[in-house]
Structure 1
Amino acid sequence: MGVVVAALGGCQGQRWHPSEISPDEYVLRGAITTKNRLIDRYETLIADGTGPGDLLERLLTDHRRHLEALKGRMPDREHEPPDRAEPSPSPSPVPEGDDTDLSVAGIRAAEQSAAAARPREAQRVADPALSQLLVSIGASEAGHVRRLTEEG
């Protein structure tokens, strides 16, 4: 009985994760999905000609840079077997049945939600550089909220 308790006790640490991917990668995938959704919303709003086009374009550029930085942190899967090297399918940019508000107010709310999530994500990762990146992106998103409020 003592052996079982001792063996199970080893799985209780912060670094244990019951998946093929690390907790850091899990957080990264979620952040990338959020970024893709924000980018899709911005692109749709810009294409519709709704809202301050120049501001939306500048903020969209920021999001594309954030996305590239996040993708750059994904682990290299080059040396894994082909069936595992391909990333898992990502969710659609806007979930089916989602009543996404495609307005400046809707984008502002999405930015505010994303900015609020970044510190929680940063606390969940082990890599300090990834934590710093997530917090920096959150600060940028918070700045977007302010700009959308003032200029939108």
Structure 2
Amino acid sequence: MRHDALNRRTVLGGALAAAAALGLGGCRGADWYPSEISPDEYLLRSAIAEKQRLIARYAALLDNGRSTDPELHEAFRSHHERHLAVLRERLPEHGGGEPSPSASPEARPDPDERGLRVAEEAAAANRLRQLGEAADPALAQLFAGIGACEAGHAHSLPEA
């Protein structure tokens, strides 16, 4: 019996300590963010850049004729293009521009099938992280749906 009470005390004590740490940490939510771009917009821009890289990778694979399953790869590219369109619609209209796929060293597509599964798995993992960081529940839900699709892609592709 004493063992149960100790566990409850430990849990309650840990929760109180975490709440105190958050309170003393000075985090006041999104209103403290020192930029014109909100944390959610930053997440959106990151997802958009990643989508552009995935689309470029599929396009290079298809354009070079190195795809072993062109119908599947074209369908997956189409999914990413639809995701990209929805993500772009969510961007605020304050003229901040849009990320470019060439903004990153990983942007140059590797035109072979090796690594597509890994890229899809990484994208799904990023969506999971992003949905946990999103302040807007609708944005979190969008990231969850896109991540589920990416996880399905990864499952359907051969291992690298």
- TM bin, normalised by shorter chain, reads 0.7 to 0.9
For the pair 1:35 / 2:35, whether they are aligned, the reply is: no
Which residue pairs with 2:83 in the alignment? 66
Equivalent residues, number: 135
Q: Distance in 2 between matches of 1:24 and 1:104?
A: 32
1:13-69 deviation digits (Å, cap 9, x = unpaired): 232211111000000000000000000000000001112111100000000000001
Structure whose alpha-carbon radius of gyration is higher: 2
Question: RCO greater where, 1 or 2, for CA within 8 Å and sep 6 or more?
Answer: 1
What one-letter code is carried by the residue in structure 1 that aligns with 2:34? P
Q: Distance in 1 between matches of 2:85 and 2:65?
A: 26
RMSD: 2.5
Q: Which range is displaced more, 58-67 or 68-77?
A: 68-77
Structure (1/2) with the larger helix percentage:
2
Q: Distance in 2 between matches of 1:112 and 1:137?
A: 12
Q: Indicate the SS of the match to 1:76.
A: coil
Q: Which range is displaced more, 98-107 or 140-149?
A: 98-107
Q: By how many angstroms is 1:94 displaced? A: 5.9
Cα 1:70–1:146 change in 2 (3 A) is: same
- Identity percentage of aligned residues: 47
Gaps in structure 2 of 5+ consecutive residues: 1-23
Cα 1:92–1:60 change in 2 (3 A) is: same
Gaps in structure 1 of 5+ consecutive residues: 1-8, 78-84
For the pair 1:113 / 2:113, whether they are aligned, the reply is: no
Which residue pairs with 1:143 in the alignment? 152
